[in-house]
Amino acid sequence: MSDREYKEWLNLANKELKEREIDDLKWKTPEGIEVKPLYTENDLKNIKHKIGLPGLPPYTRGPRATMYANRPWTIRQYAGFSTAEESNKFYKEGLKNGVMGLSVAFDLATHRGYDSDHPRVVADVGNAGVAIDSVEDMNTLFNGIPLEKMSVSMTMNGAVIPVLACFIASGLNQGCPLEKLTGTIQNDILKEFMVRNTFIFPPKPSMRIVADIIEYTSKNMPKFNSISISGYHMQEAGANQVQELAYTLADGKEYINAALRRGLDIDEFAPRLSFFWSIGMNFFMEIAKMRAARYMWSEIVSQFNPKNKKSLALRTHCQTSGVSLVEQDAYNNIVRTTIEAMAAVMGGTQSLHTNSFDEALALPTPFSARIARNTQLILAEETGINNVIDPLAGSYYLESLTSEMISEANKLIDEIDEVGGMVKAIEMGIPKMRIEESSAKKQARVDSEEEIVVGVNKYKPTEKQDINILSIDNDEVRTRQVSNLKKLKGSRDNKVVNKYLDKIETSAKDDSQNLLEICIEAAKNKCTVGEMTSAMEKVFGRHTLSTKTISGIYSKTIKKSEKISSINDHIEKFIEKNGRRPRMLVVKMGQDGHDRGAKLIATAFSDLGFDVDVGPLFQTPSEAATQAIENDVHIIGVSSLAAGHKTLVPILMEALKENDANYIKVICGGVIPPQDYDFLKKLGVSKVFGPGTNIPEAAIEIINML
């Protein structure tokens, strides 16, 4: 474009804008990247980073030369429902209707390495996924599904060794040799310490486990991906796209170093590493993130001098955002998921899971899961997207945005490198703090209506929505699992079991031993997930996390308004009457480690003038009640995400009653089906706040309640 042409456009645009300036149309992304109103071919001249061709380094345009023109992305359905029997039925139905690979969600008890009969998981068995206690459950899960033909992805990190051992043992039971087992195990423990919190052991032994899995699968399972380095849970916890990109790649770098220290050659394992991104509503930003990731990973791996070009290629699975799903006007979520799925495909994903529209309310029903699955089928079969390789390449805007993302993400990676790598950075709390700051800023923008969420803070529905939801009877699931465990333990050779458990404990003390190899034999001999975990725990210990919250970020970001002034007035009146500020204890009970909601409430309410205590993760209801009484709080805020509220809240209310502490009010928030609100209120819960709640409005309501 010539200077004359640009000036002509500028004059025309200014006439259309009338009194405004072109600069008024500039927009800054939450990551701080300035976006211009117009991009031209001149912008491509300034790009520092090579675009290249699909299938060739630096792989910006895709890891395969022909991409979807030759082979479309794999349509996956991430699911796990209560028991292995129920999940097996769901998988078979999906396979009949176009699903090409299975993705397993495990329940919270399994994630944390507890068997279903453990007293700490009374509310967690069968919630948010399938309960797996032994190889017998894994056999049931894949009954009639030939593992030599089916790619299986498993989201498992904490109890990764015993769960993977049960999967391998189940495959061998089917007659499937190790070299034919296909799929991915997440095995990404570093992000657990940052955001998701379903860890078991401390960082150092956890990294040893990662290396054991990479080593074993590299030597014995050539079709199996030993790790899925995950940014998904970072974005779900509030990370912006640059943070998700940078911290995920920094994790990948740390895993490479762990494998190299084990004595592996880079080309032995790098081609089997994979990645996992969250895809949110910022359409072009998500596409640019995926392109930038491939470029940056190629640059990172090249530092280790691989001889195989495939070692440089980043391959990825994507999942549409869970946090973008809202309870209010929930059918809008179908549109959001469609937009996010398009971004994943335009960005060049190798496989994709689309969330169901009702997941802000409960687990998906078969009806909603079918819509989610068909979203991908329509994209693949009806749009023509598959006919052209990387159709958005060369876009002035997209290529500029990709280059900007690379530059910004590299700044964060440099910060990690300067402190000695990701393990050190996690120990110092750097990524966790940055992500929590980003989360607080986003919430403040939504509460201030700077960031619009249709149906939540603008264009709110006037009619009541009627949505059928799936409800899991946790007590029934736990009863069945405990009964099955009892039968298993009564029918196996317990002398052999104890021999293998002793062997696991001994091997945990010796870094030269491969724990996965030993646990496979233990699983074959019917050692349970909890027993194998306990054997390692005797050596490694169980990790605990200190509870810290940030302050000042929410209050600095939220716009001053009448609501904020009203909160200040209410707080002052409360202090005059009671001699102190309103005091709240925010708790996460059970084994759910997703603490974004709890941290947001704690941070925002503290900034709004409340005294806020935060309970440690994985509390029991009785522990939460004791802390509330000892801290002399006015109110307990229960954060729930994984459907444990129907079991945990009644126990909490009973514990308060037994301690003559009924004066402490209880409120609940999170993913709680509206159908359960009356149940909770009958227990004595004062108020239930769903996803998308405006925090200043909630604060005023709570002060009035007190």
Which residues participate in catalysis according to the annotation? 78, 232-233, 588, 592, 594
HSE-up of 402 (CA within 13 Å, CB side)? 29
How many residues does this entry show for the chain?
706
In whole angstroms, give the CA distance from residue 78 to residue 75: 10
Residue type, 543: H
Token pair in block for residue 53: 């061709």
Q: Are 603 and 440 in contact (CB under 8 A)?
A: yes
Sign of the torsion formed by the C-alpha atoms of 67, 69, 70 and 73: positive
In whole angstroms, give the CA distance from residue 431 to residue 440: 14
Partners of 102 in the β-ladder: 77, 152
The angle formed by the CA atoms of residues 423, 424 and 425, to the nearest 5 degrees, is 90
Nearest to 83 by CA among 482, 415, 424: 482
In whole angstroms, give the CA distance from residue 26 to residue 15: 17
Partners of 587 in the β-ladder: 638
- Strand runs (DSSP E) across 72-176, as ranges? 74-79, 101-105, 151-155
Name every residue whose Cβ is closer than 8 Å to that of residue 654 and which is 6 or more positions away in sequence.
621
Name every residue whose Cβ is closer than 8 Å to that of residue 522 and which is 6 or more positions away in sequence.
162, 165, 497, 500, 501, 503, 504, 532
In whole angstroms, give the CA distance from residue 565 to residue 238: 27
The reply to whether omega before 58 is within 30° of 0 (cis) is yes
Token pair in block for residue 325: 């799903």
Partners of 34 in the β-ladder: 28
Intra-chain end-to-end CA distance of the chain, in Å: 64
Q: Are 243 and 434 in contact (CB under 8 A)?
A: yes
